[in-house]
Amino acid sequence: MPRMLRLAATLVLSSLGTILQPATVARAAAMPEVAAGDASTDYLIGPGDLLRIFVLNNPDLGAEVPVRPDGKISTPLVPDVVAVGKSPALLAKEMEFKLSEMVRNPTVSVIVATAASSLSQIRVVGQAANPRAIPYRSGLGVLDVLIDVGGLSQFAAGNRAKIIRTTSSGTTEIKVRLSDLINKGDIRQNIPLRPGDVLVIPEARF
């Protein structure tokens, strides 16, 4: 008898698992996806950037607009929304919230068509062959920037270079040995860069 009871209990549990599984899958599918990565690495919109705004199933509400000097943009039904200092994803969420008063379940996408502000640039100062500001692009590293500026000048102290990075928590300095990267192939020095970084290359001491 106990054996029969155990068998019956096993069958009941198996049946319950079959019944509950679709509900469990549906609940997991409905859960919002959690964004991965450090939010501080997101691109921050700045004055002069050109943005493309798309509203799913409502093309008339989209637009291609520049970020004005006051830091705002205007699109159909969403006038004068602050864009400067926000990531495209955050701006899209805020526009969805504003549009939801007039449009049912709006889905907004924001794309930076042209990055033109200082927030979107990597500035190279000091002893580079051609020190200048470089537009940020996804995946940009120190080696890419060195190629863009023509490498180090003959007076550069490459191994005393540093990256100055400003985040919401303050300004930090990251040491980078450029000479070892170029001459020894030390790929550890090919540090990924973020929008707004400043690469400082000092002059060698004689």
Alpha-carbon gap, residue 153 to 167, rounded angstroms: 29
Q: What is the pLDDT of residue 36?
A: 34
DSSP reduced 3-state for 180:
helix
pLDDT at 17 over 90: no
Q: What is the pLDDT of residue 26?
A: 34
For the record, the structure tokens of 112 come out as 């930076």
- Is the pLDDT higher at 22 or at 56? 56
CATH 3.30.1950.10 assigned to domain 40-116? The reply is yes
**Exposed / middle / buried, residue 83 (Cβ in 10 Å: 0-12, 13-18, 19+):** buried
What fold, for 119-201? Outer membrane lipoprotein wza fold like (3.10.560)
pLDDT band at 19 (very low <50, low <70, confident <90, very high): very low
Alpha-carbon gap, residue 193 to 180, rounded angstroms: 18
Residue type for 73, please? I
Could you tell me the residue ranges of all domains in the chain?
40-116, 119-201
pLDDT at 50 over 70: yes
Average pLDDT (155-178) is: 92
Q: 199 with 125: CB under 8 angstroms?
A: yes
Q: Fold identical between 40-116 and 119-201? A: no
